[in-house]
Amino acid sequence: MKPEKSSKQIVDQIRQAIEAAHSIGITTHVRPDGDAVGSVLGLGLALAAKSKQVQMVLPSGVSHTFRHLDGSDLVQKAFTAPCDLYISVDCADLKRSRGLPENCHFGLNIDHHITNERFANINLVDADAVATCAILTELIPQLELPITRQVADALLTGIVSDSIGYRTSNTNVKALKLSTTLMEAGADLYALYNKALISRPFSAAKYWGYALARMQRKDGLVWTSMTLEDRSNSGYKLNDDADLTNLLSSIEESRVSVLFVEHSKSKTKISWRSVPGVDVSVLAAEYDGGGHPAAAGAELNKCLQETETLVVARTLAFLHSVDRGEKRGDLEKNNGVAK
C-alpha cells in the first residue's frame, strides 16, 4: 500500500490542476447542509475572483436558510457546459453526489468525513477538520486565491453549521483560530450564526411539533420521525428535517438520537447523532451511508415504519454492544490495578 502523500504534495497537485483548468465545476452531496453550501460558494467565489470560469452546481438549489449568502444566485441546478476540472466538496462518496455530467469524473475531492472513499484523482481529506469549510479556509490562501468578505461569509457559515455553533466534540483551538481569520476578512459571526442555526420560519417550528409529539426513548436512545403528512400539514416546503437533528442531540438523556424523515412512501432518510465515544458512522456504513463518529446518515429504500423498526432495533443493539465493551474495558483496567 502506497503511503499517503504529504499535505504539501497534495496542495501542489491541487494548484497545478487548478492552474491548468480554464473552466471549473464544483458540486457537493444531495440535500446540502451549511458546510456543503459554504464550501461550494467559498471555493467557487475565490476561483471566480481569479478569473476562472466557474460553475457552482446544487441540483436541489440553495435552501432558504442560506440564500442570504452572496453568490447564491449564481448557483445552478445542473452543469450547462463541460468543465476542464470537476471538484467535489464535503461529499464522502459518489452515491451521495449529484449533478456530475455523464462520463465525467472528479479531478479533486475535498472533504472531512472519516468515511470518505477517495474517489477523485486528487483527494484532500482531513477527518480531524471541524468542517470542509475549515479545510478550505487554510487551502484557499495556499492556492494564492483571495478570501474576500463574500468568501469569508460562505466559509464561516460552513464552520458554524457543521460544528452546531462550536458545540461538536471536534471543535478545537484550530477551528476557532480559522473562524477568527474569517471574521478578520469581514465575516459577521453574529449574523451568520443567527441565519444558520437560530432563525427559522414558522412552518419549520410547526413541522418540529409533529415530530416532537411522537418522540420516544429507550436505554439511552431517543428517536422520532417526520412524515410526508407532517410536512404538508405544517406548510414546510423543503425536503429536509428543518434542523431537528440538532435539537434531538441536545436531549440530556440521549446518548444516541435518530431522526427518520420520510422522503417518499418507499424512501426514508436516517440521521444519527451521538455523544463522544459512540461512533455512529459504523452504523451508517451498515446501511450504505457515512459521516462522522458523532453525526452520520443513510437512506433506505423502505417505507418509514419498516425503516424505523429495523434501525431502532439495530441501534439499541449497537448501544448495548458499546456498553459491554466499556464494561469489559473497566474490568480489565481494574484487574490490572489489582495485580
pLDDT in tens, the chain (339 residues): 344 556 889 999 999 999 999 999 999 998 899 999 999 999 999 999 999 999 999 988 998 899 999 999 999 999 999 999 999 999 998 888 877 888 889 999 999 999 999 999 999 999 999 999 999 999 999 999 999 999 999 999 999 999 999 999 899 999 999 999 999 999 999 999 999 999 999 999 999 999 999 999 999 999 999 999 999 999 998 888 999 998 999 999 999 999 999 999 999 999 999 999 999 999 999 999 988 899 999 999 999 999 999 999 999 999 999 988 865 555 344 444 433
Contact 89, 111 (CB under 8 A): yes
CATH-assigned architecture of domain 7-197: Alpha-Beta Complex (3.90)
Q: What would the pLDDT profile of 204-242 be if each residue is shown by its tens digit?
A: 999 999 999 999 999 999 999 999 999 999 999 888 899
282's torsion region: left (phi>0), alpha (psi -120 to 50) or beta?
alpha
Question: pLDDT at position 326, please?
Answer: 67
Report the CATH number of the 202-327 domain.
3.10.310.30
Side chain identity, residue 145: L
Question: pLDDT at position 331, please?
Answer: 37
Question: pLDDT at position 6, please?
Answer: 64
Enter the DSSP assignment of 109: E
Contact 290, 255 (CB under 8 A): no
pTM for the model = 0.86
Question: pLDDT at position 31, please?
Answer: 87
Domain borders along the chain are 7-197, 202-327
Contact 256, 284 (CB under 8 A): no
With 0-12 / 13-18 / 19 or more C-beta atoms within 10 angstroms meaning exposed / middle / buried, residue 139 is buried
Orientation angle between helical segments 34-48 and 132-142, nearest 10 degrees: 10
Question: pLDDT at position 339, please?
Answer: 30
CB under 8 Å to 37, separation ≥6 — which residues? 28, 58, 62, 63, 66, 69, 72, 154, 157, 158
